[in-house]
């Protein structure tokens, strides 16, 4: 094993699974990458493609600022306004209001 292979295997981002004596599977987990960018990028791509298909130009994001869904959008879209409304959040949490993407 050369020095590069030793470094990659010791980094903690790659898991080795031995299937038998002849084969092994190396897995690079994107959930262990810096800031979980792989997960957020997949969420962004999924949501963005739906918006393009439906020709949606403006989106209202609702949720906690640190949630993964909002973080996925914040990294990839231009955010024009951030608002916080405690009454709206309480109404959503109590089930009085449901927000649907049409």
Mean pLDDT in residue range 10-19: 59
Question: Does residue 100 belong to any structural domain of this protein?
Answer: no
Helix ranges restricted to H, the chain: 3-10, 37-53, 68-76, 86-93
Task: Supply the pLDDT for residue 45.
Answer: 72
Q: How many distinct structural domains can be found in the chain? A: 2
As a whole number, the mean pLDDT across the chain is: 61
Task: Supply the pLDDT for residue 101.
Answer: 38
* Contacts of residue 30, Cβ cutoff 8 Å, sequence gap at least 6: 36, 37, 38, 39
Q: Are residues 26 and 60 in the same domain?
A: no
- pLDDT tens readout for residues 25-62: 666 555 555 555 566 667 667 777 777 888 877 776 66
Return the higher-pLDDT residue of 72 and 50. Answer: 50
- pLDDT tens readout for residues 81-98: 666 555 555 555 555 544
Q: What is the pTM of this model?
A: 0.36
Query: What range defines the domain where residue 10 resides?
Result: 3-32
Question: What token pair was written down for 62?
Answer: 């609702």
């Amino acid at each position: 094993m050369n020095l590069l292979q030793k470094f990659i295997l010791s980094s903690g981002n790659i898991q080795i699974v031995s299937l038998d004596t002849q084969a092994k599977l190396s897995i690079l987990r994107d959930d262990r990458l810096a800031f979980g960018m792989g997960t957020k990028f997949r969420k962004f791509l999924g949501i963005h493609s739906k918006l393009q298909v439906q020709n949606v130009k403006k989106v209202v994001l609702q949720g906690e600022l640190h949630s993964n869904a909002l973080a996925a959008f914040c990294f990839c879209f231009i955010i024009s306004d951030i608002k916080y409304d405690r009454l709206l959040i309480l109404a959503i949490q109590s089930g009085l209001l449901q927000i649907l993407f049409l």
